[in-house]
Amino acid sequence: MSEFALHISNGIINGPVSAAFGAVAIVGLAIALARGRADLDDRLAPMAGLVAAFIFAAQMLNFAVLPGVSGHLLGGALAAILVGPWIGAACVATVLVIQALLFADGGITALGLNVTNMALLGTAAGYLLVAALLRVLPKTSTGLGITAFVASVVSVSVAAQGFVLQYLLGGTTDFAGGIGALAVAMAGPHALIGIGEGIIAAATVVTVAKVRPDLVYALRRFHSAPARAEAAVPAGGAA
């Protein structure tokens, strides 16, 4: 096993575009931390640390999606459900920074590209789906599991197309067949990766919801919907 790179390496996207996405990442994370601070209490802060650590661990677990092709969880949708979109984005970014600095995974000049795709785009897309689905689905284990699954599939697909956009803007060589072919080539395996991630994310959030429903951000945030008023009780009291 000569290489175990999981993220965009140096040199794939040119310097100016990498730097521009570095700026996007910094501004995006600053906004996320500023907005997320309202959610961050004494309970959510250590929980967010755990979510980051869990995503780090899950990203090491590559599963086969096609012959000769694997994939791993990205974590944006999972983080958004457990700790909310703002802190969730910061959790995924924390993982990516540690991977780049400590494990030489994902180039340092490519860090802004990776953070934009997986932490910002992936979490935002995942949360939009969560917000929409939890308004219509019941707040049961099944409803939450379906939400996590669908949000993960969409989140991974959007993050993958983020790379296509970056390649369109600053790819250092031509992809055979052009940018449309790159979009298609990225979409296929990442739809399958999203399905794998969806299963892991659904199992994780359903488990947490059974043990400590008050620690699931999405259940607290959307508890005002019609069904299951009792879901609101532990959220307020059990801290």
Partner 1 sequence: MNRRLGWFLGAGLLVAVVLAGVVSNFASSDPDGLESVIHQGCELNEDGEIVGGECVARQAQDHELGDSPFADYGFAGVDNDVLGTAVSGVLGVLVTFAVGAGLFWLVRRRGGNGATAKAPEQGGAAGGR
In the region spanning residues 153 to 192, those forming contacts with partner 1, defined by CB under 8 A, are: 160, 163, 167, 171-173, 175-176, 182, 185-186, 189-190, 192
User: What are the backbone dihedrals phi and psi of residue 65, each rounded to the nearest 5 degrees, phi first?
Assistant: -115, -30
Residue 234 touches partner 1, criterion: CB under 8 A: no
CB of 201 to partner 1, least distance (A): 14
Taking CB under 8 A as the criterion, which residues in 204-223 touch partner 1? 211-212, 215
Per-position x/- string for 22-61, each x denoting binding to partner 1 as judged by CB under 8 A, each - no binding? -----------x---xxxxxxxxxxxxxxxxxxxxxx-xx
Taking CB under 8 A as the criterion, which residues in 114-143 touch partner 1? none
Residue 101 touches partner 1, criterion: CB under 8 A: yes
CB of 226 to partner 1, least distance (A): 28
**Residue 198 to residues 74, 87, 142, 176, 226, Cα–Cα distance (Å):** 10, 20, 13, 31, 26
88, 51 in Cβ contact below 8 A?
Answer: yes
CB of 116 to partner 1, least distance (A): 14
75, 95 in Cβ contact below 8 A?
Answer: yes
Q: Which of 130, 99, 129, 126 is nearest to 115 (CA)?
A: 99
Residue 199 touches partner 1, criterion: CB under 8 A: no
CB of 55 to partner 1, least distance (A): 8
Residue 203 touches partner 1, criterion: CB under 8 A: no
**Count of residues that bind partner 1 according to CB under 8 A:** 82
CA pseudo-torsion sign 55, 53, 112, 131: positive
* Piece of 103-111, 131-139, 142-150, 223-231 that binds partner 1 (CB under 8 A): 103-111
Find the helix packing angle between 76-83 and 178-211, rounded to 10°.
30
CB of 65 to partner 1, least distance (A): 7
- In the set 17, 25, 80, 90, which binds partner 1 (CB under 8 A)? 90
- Burial (CB < 10 A; 0-12, 13-18, 19+), residue 198, is buried
CB of 211 to partner 1, least distance (A): 7
CB of 205 to partner 1, least distance (A): 13
User: What are the backbone dihedrals phi and psi of residue 18, each rounded to the nearest 5 degrees, phi first?
Assistant: -60, -45
* Piece of 15-23, 101-109, 144-152, 226-234 that binds partner 1 (CB under 8 A): 101-109
166, 113 in Cβ contact below 8 A?
Answer: yes
Minimum CB distance to partner 1 smaller for 105 or for 133: 105
Q: Which of 197, 195, 223 is nearest to 209 (CA)?
A: 223
Q: Which two tokens stand for residue 143?
A: 């409803």
Distance CA 133, CA 140 (A): 12
Q: Which two tokens stand for residue 25?
A: 């990442």
